[in-house]
Chain A
Amino acid sequence: MMRKVYIAGDNIVNSLGFSTGEVMKQLETGATGFMFYNDPRLAQTTLPLSLVDQRILHSRFDEILQKRHPELNKNSFTRLEKMFIVSIDDALKNTESNIYGSDSLLIISSTKGNIDLLEEGMKEFPDPKRIYLWKMAEVIGSFFGFVTRPLVVSNACISGVLALSTAARMIEAGLYENIIISGGDLLSEFVISGFLSFQALSPEPCKPFDIARKGLSLGEGCGTLMLSSKLKKTITITASGSAISNDANHISGPSRTGEELAMAITKAIKEANLKLDNVDFISAHGTATLYNDEMESKAIGIAGLRTAHVNSFKGYWGHTLGAAGVIESVATIHSMESDMLFRSAGFDEPGVPVALNVIRKNASTQVNNSLKIASGFGGCNAAMVFQKI
């Protein structure tokens, strides 16, 4: 019998706020986090982006630094490290005393880490080694006093779900008692120019699964989840199954059939011992590119989940890359705790080959079993099941 894995704490930092509560409250009012930016430091064209409020980020970080490490200089942390620290600090409240042993681990998920250190203006940064993801993770881990060395996952857009899956499996196997998984990525010219070169960006805020979708919108942020063998929140939610697969088709385009994502979904549901009919909600990857959403609809169809409620949280805060899987899982868990289904922002008219039950209006209803899915460059797919017990 495998050990159960409980949700013990969480946080979201993005354009809509600095805690899960703050962010999800915005969703209840229908707000989204996009603004149009015309800033040559970010992009050579005007784009809708979902950015973290810098002023609030720095002031939150300064408070935490004052409380935990008044001896350290605030300028010795990068913008992304500050996002991670603000997110983890909030997720750890009430449970922090449990992380200081050799049975606790920090897992960092990021695609590009401190990539802004390559920019001209960052030449002065005191520690150039922080361009390495393991070094960045080490700084964050020692800031909070973890005694084990952090694990870093960097696997394109499934990084976050893969990090959660790895963590849940480690706790099930008895390797650790508590794992804090934090996913983060920031937006800089590096990433934005790359997606622009792919012609993958929408001129308006993205419209996942909609007939008029024109591509993805980028966002930045950080999400943190604490998984534990013992600790749990007031409402008990478990991470009960997960699977990863590869399309073996194309490095920058999704599978033509969706079979490989479907395979991951089927395995994750089987591992969780869940009946298909009991899947209440799917938090889709839903990037709003033509091909991703098409593929995802086929995969959900093949997996036999056409009637399950589906949304993409990316219509609210964009594609947050290595943070996406964690942030969207936290939002999924919040949906389960509050028994709320959130509309898929940007969706009006169905535009994918397999008809899905895309959520059109926020609704109060029992959300007991959820599925989080993700796909990314390199042909990777991930699926993870959360259950209320």
Chain B
Amino acid sequence: MKRYALVGAGALAGFAGAMMLFPAVYGASDMNTYRRLDVFSDAFELVRANYVRPVEDKELINNAIEGMVSSLDPHSSYMDAKAFADMQIQTKGEFGGLGLEVTMEDGLVKVISPIDDTPAAKAGLKTGDFIAAIDQTPIQGMELDDAIAKMRGPQGSKVSLTILRPGSKKPFDVTLTRAIVHVDSVKYHKEGDVGYVRISAFNERTASGLEKAVKDLRQEIGGNLKGYVIDLRNDPGGLLDQAIAVSGDFLNGGEVVSTRGRHSDDTQRYTAKSGGDITGGKPVIVLINGGTASASEIVAGALQDHNRAKIVGMTSFGKGSVQTIIPLGEGGGALRLTTARYFTPSGHSIQAQGIIPDYAVAQPDDDDSATKLLRESEANLPGHLLGENAKKAKQTIIHAPAGKKYDDFQLAYALDLLHGGKMIASIKSAQAN
């Protein structure tokens, strides 16, 4: 009898111990998370039991994860197992595209910038255009990746985009022919005694292209060379390492950009190689506008913060975030999650603010929305963060004087700056009156 009693007592004690320890082991001590997951699983069970037709658990959870992630920002999304597998085997260069860098805003696809010499640029698409439909299928309800996939297709095939342009009253259709988009990202020529270099994207050959440009221009212009204008307008970005290399070509060491994530030990800093300035210290002006994004903003921000170049034009797009692909285990698909943001050497976030020019200069055809230097989101920043940018934003925007026709006023302004600023002075005095 006694033996059985001991066994019984032991068993009871053991079982009770398991009950008590189980929650601790499974982390339910974080009560709020536990409760939140509880709410979710309640909702899940209710749908499973009561929805008008049976739905697979897998489909419900895929949609839940998708909903959770895409509510964070337009570049974060969820790929289910199939989509993830597709992404991994996708071959590059097999498809034709349009040459558009895009993002998602208000449920529609928004154009960041068309790349020079691509079908999109030739069709006259502009920064800020919204795409409302692709081949008459409304974009509403599509994920950004789906929309991009629909815009791609066999080389030579046509696609029709319905465009909403701010300032235009009615939407209009544009038909484009897809092409293999090979971007020759660096073009250059001499503008009198100034070397003009246009960088339209940051691909594998950009830094070497820039180095060749500077070398050739130095040779062509010779001793009188006054400086360089680096045109990053409507450059939607590209490869980070190219942005760092290009920045390094103008700097003698120093930080170019940092990426900062959730925790302070996630920070990564990228520095320019020392002895890197290939221009021999000549003055540099960088041109930017609302279509200048990402890698281009890194370059402009680095050169601005090191006082290596003056920035002329209009505030850039403000796209400076890093997405990381995080697989979720066997058959679980993967998250594409924004995990870090880019910061200029002085510590301001490109995503939030873009790059604000030192000299705010508008093109004659810039519509009113482009003339806002400080974006609305900044108005909500706590006062102490506004600081430098607010001061810059209070500057007046310089417009081309009436009466004289300029092909490219921003470029004219930049060239004038390099020559002592006589035209600028006369404009300023005229505007002051």
Instruction: Check if A and B associate.
Output: no
